[in-house]
Structure 1
Amino acid sequence: MADRLKVLLDGTPLLGQRTGIGRYTAALAEELASMPDEVDVRAVAYTFRGWRGLRSVLPHGVRARGMPVPARLLRKCWLRSSFPPVEIYAGLADVVHGTNFVLPPAMFAGGVMTVHDLDFLDAVDELPPSDRELPELVRKSARRAAVVCTPTAAVANIVTERLGVPQDRIVVTPLGVDPAWFAARPPSDSLRARLNLPSEYLLFVGADGPRKGLPTLLEAHAATPSLPPLLLVGPGHRSLSDRVHTAGYLSDVDLRSVVAGAAAVALPSRDEGFGLPVLEALACNVPVVCSDVPALREVAGDQAHLVPVGDAEALAAALVSALEDPPTADLLAARRAHASVYTWRRCAERTLDAYHMAKN
């Protein structure tokens, strides 16, 4: 036990409604907590308002630390200097892991940061005002990090190209599919009534935003009356017609049922770092249509219909094909087998490899 790695994990993404990064951080923390002989994990919240709430959302075995300082002030400090180092308020550690692009400075700990994607480097104007300094902060964090984790080899290549991080300092840590997805069932009558779900629907899962390519999907859907209604799940959506429905942010349990009941899942993003909805749909045996971008090609393998970015006509044709082609038993088995390769345990084990590299 004396040789356990002491790790400080950025737990800020666990607070509030969880996006993909929040789900990644939660699953990673839970898997690391299940390895008590190898790693001692403390989660740190870099926020004034929510850091006390971190204790209530952590898995058993992970302790909470926090610094009651506004996150914006901390980022400004870290952009200009190496103060305050994380050990001042979280204690000594072997490794500090920035799970959400930003790596705090440390006096002694080895630094690991996760870069989920780098689309924002070419779309700074799409960032909220509070994040306008994010590109420079990420560049500085990458220079500070001993190891950079990425969810796909596609992102690893971009990190080398855009941030100058050598490949031997990058560890690919693919995300995982929770086992509950493989047992998901379509919505019950009560859930259908509560969410006002159509009897058949296409599904988009994700927050609204330019990167997600939603206008292309809406155009494709509007131009193809034969397609079933479209359901948008996630924050920020609004219904634009009687054939487009919204469900807002859903709990994990409700989300699994809604995905399992979909006729097909569409992910028309202009860029992705991983594309977890692709694997989760495949685990439910739901056909997937997604953009032909490097990370989605890597994650989907040959189990999804790939279409050019921004091509509404091709997207519509692929959706029609996905609905009309009856899946064979072999195809259904192949979808689930492909998704089953991606586990959170594997993600944690690869991340632990990164920690050992950073410590050394």
Structure 2
Amino acid sequence: MADLRVLADATPLLGRRTGIGRYTASLVGELASLVDLRLIGFTTRGWRELRSVAPAGARVVGPPVPARVLRSMWSRGPLPPVELLAGTSDVVHGTNFVLPPSARAGGVVTVHDLAFLDEPSEAPGLEALVRASVRRAAAVCTPTEAVADAVGTRLGVEQSKIVVTPLGVDREWFDAEPDAELRQRLPADYLLFVGADGPRKDLPGLLRALDEQLPPLVVVGPGEPGHDGRVQRIGYLPDPQLRSVVAGARALVLPSRDEGFGLPALEALACGVPVVCSDIPALREVTGGHAELFRYGDAEGLRAALHRALDAGAPEAGRTHAARFTWRACAEATLRAYRMAADR
């Protein structure tokens, strides 16, 4: 399908990459060799940067336009169509919840999770945009079957329109090792939390579960570095440093109320680190029986799961499981959605 013209929203490639930024970067890196890929950034500040981060084989198109203005217009109707900004294409892919309206192109939108329904104050106005996007889309991509079920139930999307596109694990994770220089700044043994300190991640619940027999906690994510008792925050890390910090952890902990995929859990398994996570549908699906699970919000259950993980270590089967998730497979599943959109 190299002649299929695909326009993808590449705005998540700009700035410090969160999970959606990493998804978008890895996906377009694979798609560039599979389709005629054009990338557009809905921004003014980082617009020029997109050319330097675009993968080989992809073409950056469109003028600098602020996302806020476009989202405000798109929340009221299908104008302006994206063709006015980027020219014609066969398929338009909204990689980050919002599908730009188009005059002719088939639409595909990725819905990563439904946190915007449960915590609307964290993303004002997003619900209306997502509902409009899934109505316009010929295909809706989700990272897990769990999110696919929720999208069908809570957004009213027909299952025939949904394509599950599991995320991948970069090969570098399987060879990751602790970095000696970084280790000098960290405890000799530590538990690890990776992510933003938002309500659905339940970092406070993890702090309540810690006891003196457990290693101290290292937190990687947005925010200022610093110490607070047995908790060390080290801020945002680029991917190479993040891999080293994960590889050196005694266990990675995801105490989330909700996840769309939970990529840090799979990455930790890839480098042989035990995983402890809440027993919620997406994390059960992704970890595939290779994590210690506990009931969300149960501090005693989390504490017991942490002790079990440290006693047991990480079986090699976890690495084998993680190796089944590749970005090429994600791209090929996404191509199925593109075919649905192009053939609508």
Report if the CA contact (8 A) 1:52-1:66 is conserved: no
CA distance in 1 between counterparts of 2:294 and 2:69 reads 42
SS of residue in 2 equivalent to 1:49? coil
CA shift for structure 1 position 247 = 1.2
Report if the CA contact (8 A) 1:202-1:262 is conserved: yes
CA distance in 2 between counterparts of 1:230 and 1:101 reads 32
Report if the CA contact (8 A) 1:152-1:295 is conserved: yes
Q: Give the direction of change, closer, same or farther, for the CA distance of 1:60–1:358 in structure 2 (3 Å limit).
A: same
TM-score (norm 2): 0.97
Please show how residues 3-22 of structure 1 align to structure 2 within 5 Å: 4-22=3-21
The answer to whether 1:246 aligns with 2:233 is yes
CA distance in 2 between counterparts of 1:116 and 1:257 reads 26
Aligned-pair RMSD on alpha carbons?
1.3
CA distance in 2 between counterparts of 1:143 and 1:118 reads 16
TM-score (norm 1): 0.93
Report if the CA contact (8 A) 1:208-1:237 is conserved: no
* Structure 1: segments with no counterpart, 5+ residues: none
SS of residue in 1 equivalent to 2:7? strand
SS of residue in 2 equivalent to 1:66? coil
CA distance in 2 between counterparts of 1:276 and 1:237 reads 23
2:107 corresponds to which residue?
111
Report if the CA contact (8 A) 2:91-2:107 is conserved: yes
Provide runs of 4+ in structure 1 moved above 4 Å.
237-240
CA shift for structure 1 position 272 = 0.1
Report if the CA contact (8 A) 1:204-1:230 is conserved: yes
Report if the CA contact (8 A) 2:257-2:278 is conserved: yes
SS of residue in 2 equivalent to 1:141? helix
Using the TM superposition, name which of 63-72 and 235-244 deviates more. 235-244
Report if the CA contact (8 A) 1:51-1:66 is conserved: no
SS of residue in 1 equivalent to 2:228? coil
The structure 1 residue matched to 2:133, chosen from 141, 149, 154, is 141
SS of residue in 1 equivalent to 2:61? strand
Q: Give the direction of change, closer, same or farther, for the CA distance of 1:326–1:232 in structure 2 (3 Å limit).
A: closer
SS of residue in 2 equivalent to 1:315? helix
1:202 corresponds to which residue?
191
1:192 corresponds to which residue?
183
CA shift for structure 1 position 240 = 5.9
CA distance in 1 between counterparts of 2:227 and 2:178 reads 25
Partner amino acid for 1:21?
I
Partner amino acid for 2:195?
G
CA distance in 1 between counterparts of 2:66 and 2:100 reads 14
* Structure 2: segments with no counterpart, 5+ residues: none
Partner amino acid for 2:10?
G
Please show how residues 70-219 of structure 1 align to structure 2 within 5 Å: 70-125=66-121, 127=122, 131-188=123-180, 190-193=181-184, 196-219=185-208
1:350 corresponds to which residue?
333
CA distance in 1 between counterparts of 2:274 and 2:236 reads 22
SS of residue in 1 equivalent to 2:273? coil
Report if the CA contact (8 A) 1:207-1:237 is conserved: no
CA distance in 2 between counterparts of 1:124 and 1:295 reads 21
What percent of counterpart residues are identical?
64
Report if the CA contact (8 A) 2:274-2:313 is conserved: no
SS of residue in 2 equivalent to 1:256? helix
CA shift for structure 1 position 268 = 0.3
